[in-house]
Amino acid sequence: MTKSADYILDFKAISASDHSRVGGKCASLGDMIQAGVSVPPGFAVTTDAYLAMLDGHGLRLEIERALANVDPDDFDKVDRAAQAIRIRIRSHHLPSGVETAVREAYAAMGSELPVAVRSSATAEDLPDASFAGQQDTYLWVIGADDVVARMRDCWASLYTTRAVAYREKHGIPHAEVLMSVGVQKMVNARAAGVAMTLDPLNGDRSRIVIDASWGLGETVVSGIVTPDHYSVEKVLEQIAERKISDKHVELVPDETRGQAVEREVEAGRRTRPCLTDDEVLAIARLAKQLEKQKKCPQDVEWAIDADLPEGQNLLALQSRPETVWSQKAAANKKKYQTGMMGIVGALLGKTST
């Protein structure tokens, strides 16, 4: 018999070995906490809850039928099938055991606590398949009813047109990709952004590149603003390059409306650096620590929390393997090995004659 505990895992109880139950994003959060990295608290709704939803309403068979013989290059057909699946997922109530477990876990955090509700699929954040941004995230969610609704929306986002086409093109069976959902305390971000433990322009692993802007980091990730840009020498921990941009908008919480909203940045702050040099170096050290811990180049999302004291206000929101240059390096290595095998084979053949 399934118990409520099967549906909920506190971030503090998660390790990388729980990937199949909590997906890449939540597994990474738990792994960071285990390594002593500061992460906003929260919990994962496990893939057991998602499977209970599918099996409780016969949705698995419906999904298989809807996607049978779908051509990933036929956008209209993929879009119609994906939309029909999302509607079906959103139209059902959660199994009672799942809903009870989620409501109790959220109440334990605080009945009106603003949280982010984040998708965490089991095939995202892997070194050889970049699913970043293909499923949904909802910010500044308040109240158990909205948490439950947004969680169901996250499940449905596993079947966006883009995600369905991606899996079809890469030969990833839809039924093997499951969805966990992370419910995480919102950060009151003074500034936020991303840090990569290599230079994304040329793959230089001696650099840590940081992009930062005012407010929540979604404006950086989505490209809404041109962020401040820093390049840090990884070994020396020195700022080698900096470019301060005109950051015209920021994403901030609106407590009256109960959501995150875009607002114009006042003129005096737009072209001011959103980070001090000490904060830039602290972010670089955090990224460097995560690269060492995870043993590969990382793409790190971070935030400076305005509610926490200086020196304790840098939080890691997500860390995933960098994919572009890592895949190129793997391809070049394979090409080199194939070439060497060919040379050795030719030499052996010549010697034998």
Q: What is the pLDDT of residues 68-100, one digit of tens each?
A: 888 888 999 999 999 999 999 999 999 999 999
- Predicted pLDDT of residue 212: 98
Sequence ranges of the domains in the chain: 4-185, 189-328
Q: What confidence score (pLDDT) does residue 257 get?
A: 76
- DSSP-derived secondary structure letter, 214: E
Where does the pLDDT of residue 172 fall: very low under 50, low under 70, confident under 90, or very high at 90 and above? Answer: confident
Predicted structure pTM score: 0.82
Closest C-alpha among 40, 32, 36, 6 to residue 21: 6
As assigned by CATH, the class of the 189-328 domain is alpha beta
* Dist. CA 264–CA 196, nearest whole Å: 27
- Report d(CA 192, CA 247) in Å as an integer: 12
Q: For residue range 323-350, what is the model confidence (pLDDT) as tens digits?
A: 776 555 544 444 445 554 555 555 556 5
pLDDT in the model for residue 283: 98
Distance between CA atoms of residues 60 and 37, nearest Å: 38
Instruction: State yes or no: pLDDT of 54 exceeds 50.
Output: yes
Give the CATH superfamily of 4-185.
Answer: ATP-grasp fold, A domain (3.30.1490.20)
Q: pLDDT of 180-230, one tens digit each?
A: 999 999 999 999 999 999 999 999 999 999 999 999 999 999 999 999 999
Average pLDDT, the chain: 88
Residue 332's CB is within 10 A of a number of other CB atoms, namely: 10
55: Cβ contacts below 8 Å, ≥ 6 apart? none
pLDDT of residue 141: 93
pLDDT tens digits along 295-318:
999 999 999 999 999 999 999 999
